[in-house]
Amino acid sequence: MVRSLFAASVTIAALVSVTSLSRAADQIVAPQEATGPSWTGFFVGVHGGGAFGNMGYDQLPVSAGDRTVSYKFGAADFAYGVHGGFDYQFSNRWVAGFELDYTQIDADYSPNVAGGFGTLVKAKSIYSVSGRAGYLVTPQTLVYGRLGYAGIKLDDIEQGFFDTVSKTVGAAEIGIGAETFLFGNLTGRIEANYYHPFDKFTNTDAESFDPHYLLVTAGLSYRFNAQNGSAYPVQSAPDMNWGGFYAGVDGSYNFGNMQREIDDAGSSVGPFGAQSLGAGVFAGYDVVLGSSYLIGVEAGFDYLDARFEDPAGNSFLLDSPTLFGTVKGSLSATVRAGYFATPSTLVYVKGGFAGLLTEANEDFFALDSGGNSKMLSAYQLGAGIESALTDKLSLRVEGLYTKAVDGLTVNNSQIGQVELKPSLLSGRIGLAYHF
In sequence order, which residues have a C-beta less than 8 Å from that of residue 28 and are 6 or more positions away? none
- pTM value is 0.87
Is pLDDT at 246 greater than 80 in this prediction? yes
The number of angstroms, rounded, from the C-alpha of 217 to the middle of its chain's C-alpha atoms is 6
281-312 tens-digit pLDDT? 999 999 999 889 999 999 999 999 999 998 87
Q: Is 82 exposed, middle or buried (0-12, 13-18, 19+ CB in 10 A)?
A: middle
Q: How far apart are CA 102 and CA 313, in angstroms?
A: 37
* pLDDT 10s digits, 32-69: 445 689 999 999 999 999 999 999 988 876 665 567 78
Stretch (H or E) spanning 29: helix 2-29
With b meaning 16 or more CB within 10 Å and e meaning fewer, what string describes 221-245?
bebebbeeebebebeebbebebeee
CA distance 339 to 293: 5
pLDDT cut 90: percent of the chain above it:
63
Q: How confident is the model over 21-34, as pLDDT tens digits?
A: 444 444 444 444 45
Burial class (CB in 10 A: 0-12, 13-18, 19+), 113: middle
CB 330 within 8 A of CB 352: no
Contact 222/45 with Cβ under 8 angstroms?
Answer: yes
CB contact set of 372 (below 8 Å; sequence gap of 6+): 359, 360, 362, 365, 408, 410
Q: What is the pLDDT of residues 220-233, one digit of tens each?
A: 999 999 988 887 88
Half-sphere exposure of 240 (CA within 13 A, CB side): 30
- Minimum mean pLDDT range among 139-153, 158-172, 253-267: 253-267
pLDDT beyond 60 at 317: yes
Mean pLDDT, rounded, of the chain: 86
Q: What is the CA radius of gyration of the chain?
A: 29
Rounded to whole angstroms, how far apart are CA atoms 112 and 267? 8
Whether the Cβ atoms of residue 360 and residue 325 lie closer than 8 Å to each other:
yes
- Inter-residue contact 219 to 160 (CB < 8 Å): no
Give the pLDDT of residue 369. Answer: 59
**pLDDT tens per residue, range 249-271:** 999 999 999 988 876 655 667 79
Contact 384, 180 (CB under 8 A): no
User: Which position has the higher pLDDT, 260 or 247?
Assistant: 247
